[in-house]
Structure 1
Amino acid sequence: MTHFLKKAVADIRSNNFLNLITIMTISLSILVVSVFLLFFENIDRVIESWNQGGRAMIYLKKEFRPDMLPELTAKINALGEIDEIVYISKTQALDKLKKEIASKSAFLKTLKNNPLPDALEIRMKPYKRFEKIQTFAQNIKAINIVEDVEYGRNWLGKFLKIFNLFKITGYAMCSLFFLIALFITANTVRLAFYSRKLEIEIMRLVGATETFIKTPFYVESLVQGFLGGIFGLAALLIIYLTASSGIMQSLAAYVYFDIRFLSVKLIILIIAGSTFLGWFGCYLSLKQILK
């Protein structure tokens, strides 16, 4: 195996420009794929975090009386999707609102009647699909004394639609770059093969097996794929560190969004996939050449 590795390294050095283009193409493909994976992994974590701590507000009708609370909570708990229920009276809600905006507006001081409704703040159990949240909210709203249920349906629904659309686009882009890298890798192997055609013919004449002839090409392609994965992830790391130290500090004052780099498991999977990409390109090329 050491002999084949040395032979592969020597071939890469002898055709350094061609191999550099191949490695750069694989690196670019891995970078594009990794950017989408980084985005998907972080967004999935945010959605999962929301699901784990999903909250909703149940606004009650004017006819509600505190003595109705035990029966109402029993009905909501019977739905089986609740971890916690907190009752917030209209008086508590108004007092909280006054504390939050008292220094910014004198409007509340002129109020004669409390316009806020009684409400229940609930902590929902984790959900895997947005449709289940919608169904659950509709079941609560069907209770007579309930006026409305607010769970961020508008922004969350739109966000999930955009996210799913972006996911489809990401998969399409990843597939396109994968095919481009595969095509260039296969053609690199083909050019390398024809540049050594005389040497290969001599090896065949002296009795070399097909495996002995093919192995250096496979090793060379594996090295190309491995280096392409490493360089692509290195470029992603540089982009990640730049964004984390710059853009995210600017956004920190407006929104909390903790971006994390790819997990070790995913990094290993990307490098393995990149290495396989190099091998598969070589396999397809040699299969056509050595028919």
Structure 2
Amino acid sequence: MDLYTFGPVATVLDAAYSLITGLSAALHPFLGASSSAITIILITLLVRAVLIPVGLSQARANQMRARLAPQLAELQRLHGKDREKLQRATMKLYADEKASPLAGCLPMLAQIPVVGTIYALFILPTINGHPNSLLSDTFFGIPLGSNLVHLVTTGSVTWPTIAVFAVLIALIATVAQLSRTLLPMPVAAPPAKAPAPTPGMPDLSGLTRILSFMPFMTAVVAVFVPLAAGLYLLITVSWSLGERLILRRIMGTGGAALPAPLPS
């Protein structure tokens, strides 16, 4: 079964289609052919504004990891040879602090349905049974439903098209580098002797390293998704950078690296 024709999914897509086409029609007298692209940008800004509380939650999670890092390191020093006791002490610490080692992942997860919806709106020829007029909308003369890989593999790419996609991808990569430079992932420095994994507790070191490269993965994704989705990705990663910089200034450790653990 086609997921996009499934009742609830088709209804969501139809509602999103009506929203975008309605806003685009209202902006068309002022913006002309770029009205749909500007609509995507405005919707992205609206979505990120709605997710500001989620951004605050992520900043608090960063503060929590910074605050607990020395205590976790001390628990490793005290109970590193007794894994069962270390597990109980670690779980008690998180419970006492009303914290979770997985906190802070919500902002990324919350945007997946939005990106998926925009992606679908610019690849499907029909939405809930009616023709998809969004596929004919353009940005700098390039259809919003086109993606760079498809254009290259079909031989229909032009130098202006390459230029637009190159600028888009370069901007996303630039924001990614700024994020890694100005806002390093909050990772505690490892102790001199790496402790054994704690039973029952997720090892997030690998995940943290992967997440530190996520902004660059966004640039890679922009090569494969429709131009409209690429615009969404550019605006949302730029918003994330600005939001985290502001929250770090306000909250102190919202984006800073964690302090080193206590020596063993």
Give the TM-score range, shorter chain. Answer: 0.3 to 0.5
Structure with max Cα Rg: 1
Higher strand share: 1
**What's the TM-score once normalised by structure 2's chain length?**
0.37
